[in-house]
Amino acid sequence: MEQIMSLVKERDPEQREFHQAVQEVVETVKPVLDRNMEYRQQAVLKRITEPERVIMFRVPWMDDDGQVHVNRGFRVEMNSALGPYKGGLRFHPSVNLGIIKFLAFEQVFKNSLTTLSMGGGKGGSDFNPKGKSDAEVMRFCQAFMAELYRHIGPNTDVPAGDIGVGAREIGYLFGMYKKLSNEFTGVLTGKSLNWGGSLIRPEATGYGTVYFAAEMLTTRNENFENKTCLVSGSGNVAQFTTEKILELGGKVLTISDSSGYIYDEQGIDREKLEYIQQLKNVRRGRIQEFVEKYPGAVYTAVDPALDYNPLWAHKADCAMPCATQNEINKKDSSNLIQGGVTLISEGANMPCTPEAVDILIDQGVLYAPGKAANAGGVAVSGLEMAQNSMRLSWPREEVDNRLKQIMKSIHRTCLDASSEYGMGQNYLVGANIAGFTKVVNAMLDQGLV
């Protein structure tokens, strides 16, 4: 184990998020390697931690004032043992190769858990769509796709959206791909409904996060009725996590963005959620405007210099981090436990630091890692791919039911794998082992490629 981590760090010393993701998997799959010597002999850890292909390119584009800008574009095609590369595109100033590699690595195991035929990949750019006009975003997306199109395809690599890439960006990207390739195919998921998208796709990650949490609660003979929940983020995942919690009888107390968060003791009901969706999706405003409309809520600006986030210090039963990686640290996890939280379901990718995860599991918190809990998004992306291949569109109820069954299956798979290796109800270990073994077995079947 130490050897592989030394190799990963030596090759890419600056990629801290990637190191973190690899370390978590390597540590938890050690019992699998001990039981299967062929895995060691075939150097599967060295192979699975090295991307099959990394594409990095410049993206020159012009703003509305005629000024030329140059951003970096990335696509990491991590592993295709189970199917075409599948994973989102992220447009955010924080994007760099290390973050894209960590996301692609996580995506491999997440996609494996869905039971669908999808490999793992991820991409994006350090472009920031915030504050840009529609015309500027369109020009950037067209420039980005002018390079990316030659590396993707419905049977090769099928990107989707992620942070900063919503329906608007997917539309511009798809239009450029169609023009350049001269074909209308299901090369992107997250498309609009009237040209190949799937019902439930926008809701899928948030809904799936809550469906997984509901399955965890059933192991303790509980449900979401009257449960209070802390939710971070205010984008797609946070919005639909909130919606599904409300539908199941729970109460959401918080919503946040990069500047701070709002705490509403009365709960964010459907009317307030509709306002948030209008605020963030249409007006692209800041979450602090919520208190102007609903003065009963309290807005708190979060000081980056603090060694904790006060959002996680409120009393609640459940927490759903839906913002970004490493948003819950060691102190935050202690505050969550002191506040009475007994369940955490990750809507974001790797939102808890390793130290935070250790504390949560040691204290008996029901903890669902993102690769299991937020797999609903890519699962419905896979269903969108299937519908595109058949030129069909399934009803909302059918897609939602398929999503629910997939999340139930992932929950059962994680529990079974954890139990098989004597780890009890440890979803982190179960998710990593189940995802890892399926991918590795497929790699071995396909030879040394």
CB atoms within 10 A of CB 247: 12
pLDDT for 219 equals 97
| Separation CA 265–CA 50 (nearest Å) | 47
Q: Give Cα separations from 396 to 233, 247, 393, 401 (angstroms).
A: 26, 16, 9, 8
In a domain, 198, yes or no: no
345, 368, 391 - which closes a domain: 368
pLDDT digits (tens, 9 = 90+) for 117-126: 999 999 999 9
| Separation CA 106–CA 288 (nearest Å) | 32
pLDDT digits (tens, 9 = 90+) for 197-234: 999 999 999 999 999 999 999 999 999 999 999 999 99
pLDDT for 346 equals 98
Q: Element (H or E) spanning 62, and its range?
A: strand 53-62
In a domain, 10, yes or no: yes
pTM: 0.93
| Separation CA 127–CA 72 (nearest Å) | 8
The count of structural domains within the chain is 2
Burial 333-342 (b: 16+ CB within 10 A, else e): bbbbbebebb
Shared domain for 294 and 180, answered yes or no, is no
CB atoms within 10 A of CB 197: 23
pLDDT digits (tens, 9 = 90+) for 4-17: 999 999 999 999 99
**CA geometry: angle at 114 spanning 117 and 409, to 5°?**
135
In a domain, 378, yes or no: no
In a domain, 270, yes or no: yes
In a domain, 440, yes or no: no
| Separation CA 345–CA 210 (nearest Å) | 7
The answer on pLDDT for 108 being more than 90 is: yes
Shared domain for 266 and 343, answered yes or no, is yes
pLDDT for 2 equals 81
Shared domain for 138 and 65, answered yes or no, is yes
In a domain, 397, yes or no: no
Residue-range definition of the domain harbouring residue 294: 204-368
**Roughly how many angstroms between the first and final C-alpha of the chain, as a whole number?**
23
368, 389, 414 - which closes a domain: 368
Show which residues are catalytic: 122
Determine which of 83-87, 279-283, 297-301 has the lowest per-residue pLDDT on average. Answer: 279-283
Shared domain for 137 and 215, answered yes or no, is no
Return the axis-axis angle of helices 236-247 and 270-277, rounded to nearest 10°.
Answer: 170
Length of the chain as a residue count: 449
156, 184, 212 - which closes a domain: 184
CB 388 within 8 A of CB 414: no
In a domain, 273, yes or no: yes
In a domain, 423, yes or no: no
Shared domain for 177 and 208, answered yes or no, is no
Shared domain for 177 and 217, answered yes or no, is no
List the CATH number of the domain containing 67: 3.40.50.10860
List the CATH number of the domain containing 227: 3.40.50.720
pLDDT digits (tens, 9 = 90+) for 347-375: 999 999 999 999 999 999 999 999 999 99
